[in-house]
Amino acid sequence: MSDVLVPPGQALVASEAGGLLIEGHGLRRVFASGGVETVALAGADVAIAHGEMLAIIGPSGSGKSTLMAILGCLDRPTSGTYLLEGKDVTRLNDDALSAVRCRTIGFVFQSFHLLQRSTASENVELPLIYAGVSRRDRRHRSRALLESVGLGHRLDHRPNQMSGGENQRVAIARALVNNPRLILADEPTGNLDSRSGTEILGLFRRLNNERGVSVILVTHDPRVADKCDRVLEILDGQVMRDSSRIGIGDGGGR
């Protein structure tokens, strides 16, 4: 990999590998409270190709979590444009955004966000319930995914009966159940020991290689970033460094 310093306001050009999945221009997010405005994103530009495994890193308060929320259609930019698979999602209403999240994006969080009284299989099935999938099909897809992440023997176990690494595998299976093109993972190894963390990163890599799922890991841990093909460093609400073979601005190439 090579490091590319990105001038503020200079759009990135993604690698030619699979075309653009994500294209954001001038993404700005301002939060107002008590008459005070806080700028979380200050005109960030980002382009991500289909099939990339990418890390977004930066110190606390740099804007990386805000960028993830916008890329995941969980929040809207105050200004700027965000194209997801060529569609300007900033123009969509809340119901349409919810449909995009359900159809296109899978989420994995540091704290797993599993239902404690539900089994592993029931947790994975949950998005399918909202999608109106039949009970029989839900069970079949849930079982297949849990087996694919090495948890075929844990179908009927609840979160408190499993390790942290196993819970994160359940969360990953749930993220995959609607066949998303993109997985967004926020500090996915933050609550895991080093061995479990390494296994989870290996699982993300396998999903990326075998299924072609684009993976974006938001992290402060450089060891996690080192496992990715490309790293975007966020500082003061802007993309300041792009560690990859990538051109900027006029489409300079590899």
Q: Is the residue at 115 inside a domain?
A: yes
Q: Is the residue at 253 inside a domain?
A: no
Q: Is the residue at 141 inside a domain?
A: yes
Nearest-5° Cα angle at 160, 156 to 161 = 50
**Over the stretch 88-118, which tens digit does the pLDDT of each residue have?**
998 899 999 988 998 899 999 999 999 999 9
| Confidence bin at 15 (pLDDT 50/70/90) | very low
Q: Which residues contact 15 (CB under 8 A, 6 or more apart)?
A: 49, 52, 230, 244, 245, 246, 254
Q: What is residue 3's predicted lDDT score, i.e. its pLDDT? A: 53
Instruction: Reply yes or no on whether the pLDDT at 86 is more than 80.
Output: yes
Q: Is the residue at 202 inside a domain?
A: yes
Q: What is residue 18's predicted lDDT score, i.e. its pLDDT? A: 53
At residue 145, φ and ψ (nearest 5 deg) are -70, -40
Q: Is the residue at 161 inside a domain?
A: yes
Q: Is the residue at 116 inside a domain?
A: yes
Q: What burial letters (b/e) apply to 217-239, b meaning 16+ CB within 10 Å?
A: bbbeeeebbebbbbbbbbbbbbb
| Confidence bin at 249 (pLDDT 50/70/90) | very low
Residue 165, CB half-sphere, CA atoms under 13 Å: how many?
15
Q: Is the residue at 254 inside a domain?
A: no
To the nearest whole number, what is the mean pLDDT of the chain?
87
DSSP label at residue 166: H
Q: Which residues contact 61 (CB under 8 A, 6 or more apart)?
A: none
**pTM for this entry:** 0.85
Q: Which residues contact 153 (CB under 8 A, 6 or more apart)?
A: none
Domain span holding position 179: 3-248
Instruction: Reply yes or no on whether the pLDDT at 76 is more than 90.
Output: yes
Q: Is the residue at 201 inside a domain?
A: yes
Residue 219's CATH number: 3.40.50.300
Number of separate domains in the chain: 1
